[in-house]
Amino acid sequence: MVRSLEGKHPKYFEAILQLRETSDEVKAWVDKEIIYLNIIVPRIEKAKGTKNGWDYYLADNNQGRQIGTRLQQKFGGFYLVTSSLHTKIDNKEKYRVTILFRESPFRKGEKVMYNEEEYTVKMMTKDILLQNNKTGQKIHLKYKDMNLIKKVNDHEF
């Protein structure tokens, strides 16, 4: 699966897709999407210091953004794109993009605790929609706050 861009150095890349705290299912999906979208990947590395982390070095930053968006839409989770100036060639700025994805520990339909109250996860799109199990009240949370939501096992109720 590891390929380089024709006419470029074999290690050339414009984007890094960082998978952090993800399941085998997410990694398998990313591997299939790379093949399906014909994304050129000069290298893939296990992220140092992480249990379930991978770094995909991608030759095209637009394809990196595309796979990152599709990943967030499919699985839900924290998704962040950052860019930094890499070089200037002929007065044209070249940027490197980093796409970080952290999988959510819960899924749509599961029971969770938030602010010491029981909720059900109703939707996971651009944000997280929770519905209070007692009052029926719905609240929206950003993925950056997903660490405040704890998955509840059914036997705990």
Cβ count near 131 (within 10 Å)? 15
Domain definitions of the chain by residue range: 15-103, 111-156
Please report the pLDDT score of residue 89 as a whole number.
Answer: 75
Please report the pLDDT score of residue 4 as a whole number.
Answer: 47
- DSSP state at residue 22: -
Residues of the chain with pLDDT under 50: 4-5, 155-157
Q: Do the beta carbons of residue 81 and residue 72 sit within 8 Å?
A: no
Please report the pLDDT score of residue 154 as a whole number.
Answer: 54
Q: Give the fold, CATH level 3, of 15-103.
A: Alpha-Beta Plaits (3.30.70)
Please report the pLDDT score of residue 24 as a whole number.
Answer: 92
Tokens of 33: 């999407």
Tokens of 42: 């000069």
Please report the pLDDT score of residue 138 as a whole number.
Answer: 96
Please report the pLDDT score of residue 129 as a whole number.
Answer: 95
What's the whole-model pTM score?
Answer: 0.79
